[in-house]
Structure 1
Amino acid sequence: MRLGANVHVAGQNRNFVRIKRPQNSLLDGEERSLADTEIRADLGGIEREAFSTMFSLDDITLEKGGENILASKGDLGQLLFSASAGLSDLSRQLLANRVNADGFYKTRGRSSQLSERTRAMTDAQKAADEWDAKWSDLCSACWLGEAPVLPDVDAVSGILHVLEKLASAIETRDGLIDRIEKMEKDNALFEASVFELCDSLEIRKTASLTELTRTIGDRIKAAERGLEQQENLSRDLARRREDERELLVTKEILDVQIAKMTGYFCCATLDEVEAFIDLSSKRQALRSSITELEQELVEITGANHIGDVEEKLASVNREELEGQLALLTPILEDQDRKCHDVFHERSTVQKAIDAIGGDSVVAEIEEQRRTILLEIEERAGRYLELRAGITAAEQALRLYRDRHRSGMMTRASDAFKTISRGAYTGVAAQPGKDGEVLIAVSANGGSKAADELSKGARFQLYLALRVAGYHEFVANRAPIPFIADDIMETFDDFRAEEAFRLFAEMAGHGQVIYLTHHQHLTEIARKVCPGVRLHDLESIQSTATLDGIAAE
């Protein structure tokens, strides 16, 4: 697999290719191996894992971001930090803020800063007066100047908002009129089709259209039931006939076999055949018993075959053997009883030995004790490490919130207002139980905590925070590309348009790449960003020799 790209490095465009192999996978335009460090500095000096976390976004990450807003309970510092994915110069900025704060309370520094702030206030008041004059001129030049009193910015904003809703309402009305006309046309076609079916089924057209439709449906269902019943009966008849054929074949085979058996035993009925078979089975059983008894006698006497046994039995006195058996029987019983007693004694002694135990048991217990102590020590150390890490993380979140809240809150408010199409006017901070929490300010004047928003609104808020975090990063560093992978599958066209508008603003500071397989999103992108560059990877791949293509 080969992935190629044309990258602007060190003031010139260069071609690079990444191939699939363990080492030296980066090649230049002439297929020569390059070390990753040769272009890493020109690409921002960011590792691949950090880039994937900070400057790429897909639908899974977007969903997890919404869940993080819910889990954080709107904690301001945590949301700002998670959206930006961390900055390496955080400690330096914190130290600089502390130095500036200490200098403010010094006599010379305090008077100097107060003078600067007084001049800044005077300049701000002058700028405000100039803006009011320009606003009056602007309102007087249009129909707003016809009012007895010039409206303020909030009033004009409300008027523009109403006009925007009016255009949407007109568009909705036109859509409803078109749908009504199509529905009336479909109703007329439906009525004609119903009357045509009534003529075919000989149904009187005196009832209403609904009743006629119901009657036709009942006729169709009845016909379907009749057809289904006919098919079931046909299948059942075919099975019966097949069973009949199989039974006839079986009967013929049985007749042939019965004829063979009656001929073999020279009889006329099956009862007589059964009697002969029983006699044959008994004869076979008797033969087997005789063979087993003969083998047992051969083994007991140690003879070679049954003939030798018969010769020995012929020469033995029966009464003498019976006398020896009577003498040996009580001796055998006594020996058997002694054997049972000895086995019982052995079992008792073995149980006593097992109950005593030995040094190995003590050693095993000691080993288990040491193992448990080591596990306790290891887990206690791990617990202390985790607690220290949690404390450090909480402190870092508070510091990050204090440093970035102004710029990121402003950008996040603007982005959230844009992507929600004015449903929310922005975000703000509000004191909470454990610190400041993030709230969303509604257009109707209300507010909601970030963790109380709907699922879709949380997705939009997380996207707004990511956009603000990107602006915060590139404000003090070299621009880094931002990659979004089909995150608008759940967006309607209007919110997709606003999301592309945010990406267009980001593109003014760095490259933004959006990957999608939805054709309608490309049309929205062209509408919002006329200068967008679109790459159809399928058409490029069909004419390229590479196995994969990277879009710029």
Structure 2
Amino acid sequence: MRIVALEFVAFGCLSNVRLRFGDGEKENFHLIYGENEAGKSTALRGLTNLFYGIPARTADVFRHKGRDLRIRAELLSSSGARLTIVRRKGQQKTLLDGDDQPLPDSTLGEMLGGISEEAFTSVHRLDHEALVRGGEDLREGRGDLAESLFQAGAGVTGLHKVLRELEGQAEAIFKPRGRQPLINGAIERYQQARKQSREWSVRPSDWAKKQEAGAELEAELEQRQGELRRMRAEQKRLERLQFAWPPAARLREVRSELSALGTVVPLPESAARERAEAERTLRDASARVAEAGREARRLETEIAGVHAPEALIVQAAAITALNQRLGAFRQAVADLPTLRTRESRDRDEAGAILQDLKARLNGEAIAKLDLSAIERDRIESLANRYPALIQRMQDAAERAGTAGEELAQSRDLLNATPAALDPAHLRQVVTRAQKGGDLEAQLREARTRLQTLQQQAELQISRLGRWNGTGPDLARLPLPSIETVDRFELEFAEAGEALKAAEQQLKELQEMVRETDARIQAVQLRGEVPTERELELKRDRRDRTWQQVRRAWLGSAGDDSAEHRFQPGKSLVEAYEHAVAEADAAADRLRREAGRAAQLAQLLALREETEERLLDASRDVELLLYRKGVLTGQWETAWSPSAIQPAPPREMRAWLGRCAEVLRVLDVCGTEAGAVQRLEELADRHSAEIRDALATLGAPAAPGAGLAALIDCGRELLSHLEQARTRREALAAEVQRRTREFDKAEREKVQTAERIAGWQEQWNAAVAVLGPAEKLDAAQALAMVRRIDVYHQKAKDAEQRLAQIAALESMVVRFEKDVTDLVPAVAADLHGVPADQAAAGLQSRLMQAQRDAERRKALEEQLAQAQATIEQSQAEVRRATSDLDSLLQQAQCADRDELVAMEQRAARARQLTSEAEQLVHTLVPLSGGTPLEDFLAELAEVNPGRLAAEAEALTAGIAEQEAAIGKLQTAGGKFQTELEAMDGSERAAEAAGKAQQAAAQIESLSARYLRLRLACSILRQQIEIYREENQGPVIRRASELFPKLTRHSFASLKTGFDEKDRPVLLGVRPHDEEVMVAGMSEGTRDQLYLALRLASLERQLEESAEPIPFVADDIFISFDNDRARDAFRVLAELCPKTQVLFFTHHAHLIELAREAVPPDLLQVHRLGACSPEEMPRMKPGAG
């Protein structure tokens, strides 16, 4: 599958950015360059989002809204099928076709060959950070072959770290010989809890007696608590009666007062307010009627005194029109004398000009006199062109003379300049020598670096200690690996920890023996302690004595022997009695001192157990000391091939690190020596080429000159040759230019002469209307044309002013007539007054009449409003009177005084009724469920004084009962404490619970331990399977790529074995020296990882039905220019198999790619820049 086109319609800082990759099979290497903040990283994210969807939470919505994000692409499968897709941001149906119609994800999945997003980002995409992590993982894995191949093939990093963490987590859970891991500690806690559970127990008979005493105490406590509950209930009843007596007495008073009020008409609460409001309305409305009547009479009087002439108001439009024309009338009267004067002057001036023209023009021109606009414009145009034509003719003649002189001088200089030599070969060899930079300075720096590295290696070798020799000897020295040192350090540490733990346990057990002896001695110091063993011995003696007695009683002889055997000096009967007495006494003592006996028995058993554990601990310490000695011998044996007496592993690891640093410096010395040799050969080759080129051009170099001097000589000669060539070319160009200038000047002379002749013909024809052409030059003709124009303008002005005078005179006459006609009808007293004064007087009188009419209208409106107020107030008076009558009728009263009294009685009745209801609400909760009237009757018979006395006596009784209960509860607490002291069941149960908890933890930890071990085993198994399947082809291909990527610092790769016989990856120098991954430099490890990744990718591409493009993101940051150029060549080898997209911020990589990748494969694309304020807030490197 190839990407034909990729367009970021709206994504991040990119808008309508289109990358056209093309569908040609050759153009398969695409370098996408973008400066910082140009959107390179945005494009990379967009490519992954195109294939697998835009995340719900994305940082690429800072310019475009989430719903507007769009990425478009055109894809071409290996079978030739094309697919246009559009990816939008959303929850469902985010994949669209070219027409924005939804596409199933399976359509794109087939194009991608079914690979997941994780596989695409890990296998088909590589950035600089992943490259560095891959190289670091190779170092941490010590070049382990299986891990290296698996990491490169799967594109994962940190595999060795994951394996270490899995094993570390498993060992933290369980180690067969450890004590710190979780399972080991849980097993120890389980065993300890089980032991405690067995030790803590109680005899049933003692427990039963104690339980019986507790039951009696509990029964008494329950009886007293019942009596206390009865007394408290009676106390609450008395309290209710005390609280209820005052409201009950008040309720009786309220009911008595209600009864005393007698019959009360039930008026509403608003009755008094409604009566007062009706009375106030009646008063206010009556006052408004009187006030409005007085105002109406005043307005009628004022209206009668206002007079407005009706005739003036009827002619208001005509008077206003005259007033509007008054200004124009007065202006016309003022302008007429001036206009008549100007009209007369214009006619006189036009006549004078006409007389002057008659003296100059011929008869035909006088008759015609009025020139057309075309004739006048033609004469003016020709007259204006003539001076320019004359000046142009003079300039052309001057330029032709100057150009001829300069052309002759340039031809002489060109003929005197010799032809230049061809410097192409010299320029080529000098450029080639300069391309490598200052080789002599590089050579000096390389020699200095080589000398410094050699001195550094010698100094480091001298500081190593424990060994003497040279660098090559050190490289051949058979030293243990770091893994061996780590293993010994771990084993020494474990042995040390085990020995320390065993010695600590030994000390603890010895201390336990001493403590147990001290406790036994303390028990024995309080008197001899009887034991079961002593009782058994005394009973055995009693039984044997009884046998002697029995045999003597049955007639057997030999009791004398018994006498001497058991109690010398006593008879057999006395001996038997004494034995019985001792056995009984021992039994009695054992019963009396059972506690001390049991304690002594436990201490003796504990001492015996501790002595056994002490013996085991002593043997463990001896065994661990022996194992530590064996381990020390093995450690020294590991170093014996190198004849080095080793220090502890921690010190020898540091020593090996210094050895590795010395070997690394020696490796770099070899690389620098090769670099010095290559620089010397390159400098000699360039020097020879430049010497030959200088000799060919006739400028041999001085003997013994260095490369820099030869380059300077070549550049100086090239500069001279270039200057000569440039000077001759400039002279030839100057001759050509001046020839063109001379020819042009000559042509301009001829053309200007022709134009002057044509002008003369046009001029003769144009001025023929004015007279003979030979008598008129251009200035005279123009002056005559202008005089004719002035004549016509003056005549025209006189005619216009004459028409204006007639119009003004007509307007004045019409205005005077209109005034004369209007005055008799509206203002006869203005007859005979000038028209303008009469019009002004009429306007003044009209305005006064209009003001009087408006005042009359306003007064009439106020009068109508006063009359409306009178009618409205009279209606309110009638309504208030009706309301008062209704209230009197409702209260059954004859007048307003009776109404006020009834309102007061009704209000008091309502107040008493409300209070009675509140008292009832108060008393109901206090009645305790008794009907209210019965409760009130009971309260009526109660004596409040006696209630207080009964309540006080009951309170004292309750206090006494509570004190007794307190004593019983204290006794119960003491009893419970004694019971718990002898009851071991709780502690035994707690110990059993701890044992179960430890067992559950062991089960959980065991499952987790098995999962970790299984995960580690499966991962290692899969890694090994991958190695077996891919080792051959991937190592062969990586062995071909690795030398190219390291500029042949390494010749190949091979597999070998480390000190643990594990297969590892080795680099082979050109002189067959094998280098482990740990001995390679950081950059070389990165290039090794790249070789493995590309080799694995090629194998996957060969097996894949649909090849996926390989995306690289600035993976050459740490490469120098030469290695970057070689790496580009290696990437170009992928192009026949798949499309390569290389993203970079670094412009110099473009030139390196052009030098390394064939032109028919490479395409360079550039991204535009995003403004900084539009960049999203994201991690460094984004966008």
Q: TM-score, normalised by structure 1?
A: 0.49
Higher RCO, 1 vs 2 (CA within 8 Å, ≥6 residues apart): 2
